[in-house]
Amino acid sequence: MRKTAWLAATVMFSLWFAIGTVQAAPGAGASELQAAGGFFHQEDSDVGSLNADLSYGFYLTPGWQVGLRQAVNYNFIDDQRDFWVATTSPFINYHFRLTDIIVPYLGGFIGLVWNDRDETGTIGPQAGVKFFVHDRAFLNLGYRYEFFFDSIKTIDDNSSDGNHVFNIGIGLTWGGSGSRSKP
């Protein structure tokens, strides 16, 4: 537990130190590539999971971003068949410029969840905060809620049977107009 607390304090101090020297929020026409991942395995259990997200986004303006996310979740189960689920979803986000370093966003997505046996639709809201630690690099803390549906009519019926997805990722931006004015 002390190692985790020490690591968290070191990361937060590093972010605080870097924030004083960075002016990085992307402008119109910029591209963004982001990767996030995680692993879970409870001690003395027979189940674990690995998840990864990769996304590409394009800034229409300094505030509006459209993009595509590919996510995969692989579940390991001892003495049983492992299974995986992939999600492919276009998204749209609006970024609120608190500063050029701290950039929260709200958005939504709609897409397809699939594996080798089945597929279904997914839709939902997403939110997060990007902390720019370098002119073109950031740390992302994100959340999304995935509703699942077989037809548009069943979205309301399944709204409480979805997934809460939290992620921590890193991202890079490049290109753009160079204009970093607030949206």
Residue 19 has pLDDT above 70, yes or no: no
Domain boundaries, the chain: 2-175
Sign of CA dihedral 67, 34, 122, 52: positive
Amino acid at 174: W
Write down the pLDDT at residue 81. 86
What average pLDDT does the segment 57-84 reach? Answer: 93
* Residue 133 φ/ψ region, left for φ over 0, alpha for ψ in the -120 to 50 degree band, beta for the rest: alpha
Block residue for tokens 């002016």: 23
The pLDDT assigned to 82 comes to: 85
* pLDDT for 116: 87
Secondary structure class of 18 (helix, strand, coil): helix
Q: Which two tokens stand for residue 83?
A: 């299974």
Domain 2-175 has CATH 2.40.160.20: yes
What is the predicted pLDDT for the residue at 46?
Answer: 83
* pTM across the whole model: 0.78
pLDDT at 100: 84
Confidence label for 164 from pLDDT (cuts 50, 70 and 90): confident
CA distances to 93, 109, 139, 142, 167 from 128, in Å: 10, 14, 10, 4, 9
**Residue 113 contacts residue 122 (beta carbons within 8 Å):** yes
Residue at token pair 């002390």: 2
